[in-house]
Amino acid sequence: MDFSLTNDEKMVRDMVRDFAGAELKPKAAELDREHRMDLGSLARMAELGLMGMNIPAAYGGAEVGVVPYSLAMTEVGRACASTAVTMSVTNMVAEVICAFGSEEQKRKYVPPICSGIFAAGAFGLTESMAGSDPAGMKTQAVREGEFYRLNGSKLYITSAEYAGVFVVWAITDRGGPRSRRISAFLVEHDTPGFTIGKAEEKMGQRGSSTNELILEDCLVPAENLLGAEGDGLKIALMALDGGRIGIGSLAVGIGLEAVDYARDYARERYQFGRPIADFQAIQWQLADSYTELESGQLLVLRAAYLKQRKEPFSKEASMGKLWASEAANRACYKAIQILGGNGYTAEYPIERFYRDVRVTTIYEGTSEIQRLVIARQILNQ
């Protein structure tokens, strides 16, 4: 077993670390305060190949593989969680089109995502009454000649305000078996009948937009059906397996940034005539946080490694996302404790990390759903 990174993997990590530290980190607090994304940064990330890292060069991707993608997500997550979630969903959308799209769909939609012509891609699965159980969705698509007529709404869609293309799921066969009722469609942002609705006022990751989508007699060309009719649930679940590597990696990044900050603070903050880092109570919090985060990163990287080798990785991705996101939440909680009152104020970045990290145990499948995925595979259900 070899835990060392290849030179190429180190090169990608270091390049992204330098970029994210210089360009994303200095703006992160402002984007959070102003609730806005920096589209210039997204364009620059596309130029660097960060919007299609696991996409073949033939479709404009960087084709560097899943391990470098995970390392890059952690670096971007360290610098700006809002930008990181945009990157994660955009890569996931490019990958799902590459995996299930026709040649024509791949040529039409993937290069603009990778090159930044589309600032982002978006993933429209969740609805107000269907989150953990997407098969319970209500949005419908009815075939009418060369089109499908879509009606319904979606909730909590990341990057909706600036995405160029959306994967939208809808029921095509209400009476069919649960696993075959849904289909996936590629919907362009300016399709008549497709509206970006209310923006959510969120606890964290406020730089990234999260909106409702409204589909009212939205006519989508039949050629924009992704995969075959009835493949929708399979496509969503496969996309989410890969997406979990992205979110797990992002969570590790937020956690490591918080704990590094707390470590440096503990060395400089004096109480009782000594740096608080001298107190065992503080040392143990740091030791636990680094141990849990590094184990989370190992799990996520293992899932990335398996995916890169085209081996099954669904259980491993859920384990990585579950552990990394929960460990990162604990690490941010402890980081505030180490900073004391300062940690609770917006003068210091830790309160933002604490708000940003919270959602990582919720989106792309809650922790409970990760446990369900893992248990099903362990029990072979």
Ligand X SMILES: Cc1cc2nc3c(=O)[nH]c(=O)nc-3n(C[C@H](O)[C@H](O)[C@H](O)COP(=O)(O)OP(=O)(O)OC[C@H]3O[C@@H](n4cnc5c(N)ncnc54)[C@H](O)[C@@H]3O)c2cc1C
Q: Phi and psi for 285 in degrees, rounded to 5?
A: -65, -40
Stretch binding ligand X (CB under 6 A), from 98-106, 153-161, 191-199, 222-230: 153-161
Query: Which residues have C-beta within 8 Å of that of residue 297, sequence separation ≥ 6?
Result: 74, 249, 252, 324
- For the CB of residue 226, give the shortest distance to ligand X in the complex, in Å: 15
Q: Closer to ligand X at the Cβ: 205 or 285? A: 205
- Which residues inside 319-378 make contact with ligand X, applying CB under 6 A? 359, 362-366, 368-369, 372
Pick the closest to residue 54 from 63, 45, 44, 46 (CA basis): 63
Member of 113, 157, 245, 373 binding ligand X (CB under 6 A): 157
Q: Closer to ligand X at the Cβ: 13 or 352? A: 352
Q: Is 158 in the site for ligand X (CB under 6 A)?
A: yes
CB-closest chain residue to ligand X: 131
Q: Closer to ligand X at the Cβ: 106 or 206? A: 206
- Which residues inside 209-268 make contact with ligand X, applying CB under 6 A? 210
- For the CB of residue 314, give the shortest distance to ligand X in the complex, in Å: 16
Member of 68, 121, 131, 152 binding ligand X (CB under 6 A): 131
- Which residues inside 187-216 make contact with ligand X, applying CB under 6 A? 202, 205, 210
Q: Closer to ligand X at the Cβ: 89 or 332? A: 89
* Radius of gyration for the chain, computed over Cα atoms and rounded to the nearest angstrom: 21
Q: Closer to ligand X at the Cβ: 20 or 240? A: 240
- For the CB of residue 351, give the shortest distance to ligand X in the complex, in Å: 18
Stretch binding ligand X (CB under 6 A), from 118-126, 170-178, 293-301, 310-318: 118-126
- For the CB of residue 246, give the shortest distance to ligand X in the complex, in Å: 12
Pick the closest to residue 253 from 70, 35, 48 (CA basis): 70
Cβ burial of 219 (10 Å; 0-12, 13-18, 19+) is middle
The footprint of ligand X (CB under 6 A) covers: 89, 123-126, 131-132, 156-158, 202, 205, 210, 359, 362-366, 368-369, 372
